[in-house]
Amino acid sequence: MHWYEMKLSGRGQTNSGISQVCRPERTADIAKYLEQVGKNGIVASGSAGSYADQALNAGGAVMQMKRLDCIRSFDAQTGELVCEPGVTLKTITELFAPQGFMLETASASGQHTLGGAIAANIIGCNGHKRMSLAKSVNWIDVVLADGTTVRASEKENDTLFKAVVGGQGLLGIISLVSITLLKRPQENVAVEKRRIANLDELAETLKAVRKTADFCSFWIDTSAGLDALGRGILKTASFTKETLPASTFSFPKYKMILPGIVLCLASFPLFKRLRYRLTATKKTKIEAYENFLYSSDNVQVFPAKGIYQLQISFSEAEGPQALRRILTELAQTRIGACRAELVLTKEDTLSYLGAALRGYTVCFDFFRRKGIEEFLKHLIVIAGEHNGRVSVQDDALLEPRNLVLMYKNLEKFLKARDTYDPQKKFDSDFGRRLFSGEKKYEQ
């Protein structure tokens, strides 16, 4: 059993801390490591793709799960895949897409581990059709604080299941996963990009898109105000029988590693205006499904000062009004988001600490600079006034009072945590920020 002292940080570089780190190589090692955990508890970490403090535990222990990446079985009849939690989404796609299978959720990045994606209950740009990853999970094995392994699903130990899914590692370690891969209807998708002039046009267009497109995401020009408020570029895609054009030459996919200054440029109104204007009014192309997936992985930006992410879900009824208010604030204050994207969601999430509601999920990235924290807290208040839920999965600024207001199943989550980990052996910077009560666990 080896422990290493390491400085770890969240993907957004806003949070970091020194921890004792272990890297189990077999699932049987998990319980052995748990026996050695000291008074500041332990939390699992996958690819450390969450932006803030979700996989950090300063002064405590972190269990890195990436070495547990064995595929245990795959049933080509049913699509059932049983694998360890350190397998990445990209690996699953690379292995099973050639056999005609796909993951339920089309997330923006494939770098995340399956365990991390379940613990965050990720949604994708097909959220209006397929909902969150948890829906395709048949069962998970969870190693609890006392070292025992319990199987949980929507039918068996459902309270544990709903608390672990989206629970950010605060109940136990996911050690094995059974997930159903879907039969991919076609090999290619027809991708369409079109400009949307303002929020009214967006609302009308999205009503139709919800029924027709398989995938949908909307880039928002947050600098536009007045009549152009909410303008942007809508990207939709649907599976198609059409083949790739014979003349198509596709460049091999390279990952561009860019300095943080690029993000700074992306938040300038001029850049946004150009992006909007330079996009054709309407453009369609045929792409292989695997090329279309994981759009965020083509570019990796290293922000020197850090990035905050604010992801908020709104119901269908409240969404348009809430979005109008938030975008008006952004346009008037000229606080540029370096990324603003909207996806549709089909139904309320099943997980106690999940944010998604049937309606809209909007996601903003902001460059860290003076005064931004206060501004984002102000947006969190606006979200609460519209019964929105700020997603905990990448957030750095939520406070306990926000959770009480936004998460109607919070009590159920806290009760499950008290039941399965009364001593709070599983804890993290995130856990202490939002659920700091008396710390009872001692070695």
Alpha carbon distance, N-terminus to C-terminus of the chain: 17
Region from 45-53, 146-154, 215-223, 399-407 binding ligand FAD, contact rule CB under 6 A: 45-53
Which of 47, 157, 188, 351 binds ligand FAD (CB under 6 A)? It is: 47
Shorter beta-carbon distance to ligand FAD: residue 23 or 112:
112
Shorter beta-carbon distance to ligand FAD: residue 41 or 169:
169
168 in contact with ligand FAD (CB under 6 A):
yes
Shorter beta-carbon distance to ligand FAD: residue 174 or 380:
174
> Cβ 241 to ligand FAD, closest distance in Å?
27
129 in contact with ligand FAD (CB under 6 A):
no
DSSP, residue by residue, 411-432: HHHHHHHHHH-TT--B--HHHH
Residue 102 CA to residue 92 CA, distance in Å, equals: 8
Shorter beta-carbon distance to ligand FAD: residue 331 or 388:
388
CB–CB of 107/87 below 8 Å? no
116 in contact with ligand FAD (CB under 6 A):
yes
> Cβ 433 to ligand FAD, closest distance in Å?
12
Site size for ligand FAD (CB under 6 A):
33
432 in contact with ligand FAD (CB under 6 A):
no
> Cβ 169 to ligand FAD, closest distance in Å?
3
CB–CB of 353/168 below 8 Å? yes
* Residue 266: strand, helix, or coil: helix
Taking CA atoms, 156 is separated from 285, 296, 317, in Å, by: 45, 35, 34
Region from 121-129, 314-322, 328-336, 406-414 binding ligand FAD, contact rule CB under 6 A: 121-129
Phi, psi torsion values for 145, nearest 5 degrees: -60, -30
Strand pairing of 61-64 and 42-45?
parallel
Q: Which one-letter DSSP state was computed for residue 214?
A: S
65 in contact with ligand FAD (CB under 6 A):
yes
> Cβ 165 to ligand FAD, closest distance in Å?
10
350 in contact with ligand FAD (CB under 6 A):
no
14 in contact with ligand FAD (CB under 6 A):
no
Amino acid at residue number 148: T
Which of 41, 115, 303, 354 binds ligand FAD (CB under 6 A)? It is: 115
Residue 81 CA to residue 72 CA, distance in Å, equals: 8
Q: Give the CA radius of gyration of the chain.
A: 21
Helix (H) or strand (E) run with residue 308 in it: strand 307-315
Residue 352 CA to residue 9 CA, distance in Å, equals: 26
Q: Which one-letter DSSP state was computed for residue 215?
A: E
Residue 259 CA to residue 251 CA, distance in Å, equals: 23
Taking alpha carbons only, the member of 366, 362, 335 closest to residue 260 is 366
CB–CB of 434/427 below 8 Å? no
Which of 8, 87, 102, 119 binds ligand FAD (CB under 6 A)? It is: 119
46 in contact with ligand FAD (CB under 6 A):
yes
Which of 14, 19, 54, 222 binds ligand FAD (CB under 6 A)? It is: 54
> Cβ 362 to ligand FAD, closest distance in Å?
12
Which of 21, 122, 310, 379 binds ligand FAD (CB under 6 A)? It is: 122
Which of 49, 319, 354, 359 binds ligand FAD (CB under 6 A)? It is: 49
178 in contact with ligand FAD (CB under 6 A):
no
Across the strands, what pairs with 8? Answer: 17
173 in contact with ligand FAD (CB under 6 A):
yes
Residue 347 CA to residue 344 CA, distance in Å, equals: 10
Region from 105-113, 207-215, 236-244, 402-410 binding ligand FAD, contact rule CB under 6 A: 105-113
Region from 115-123, 327-335, 378-386, 403-411 binding ligand FAD, contact rule CB under 6 A: 115-123
Cβ partners under 8 Å of residue 70, min gap 6: 83, 84, 87
Residues contributing to the site for ligand FAD (CB under 6 A): 11, 43-50, 54-55, 65, 85, 107-109, 112-113, 115-117, 119-120, 122-124, 168-169, 173-174, 296, 393-394
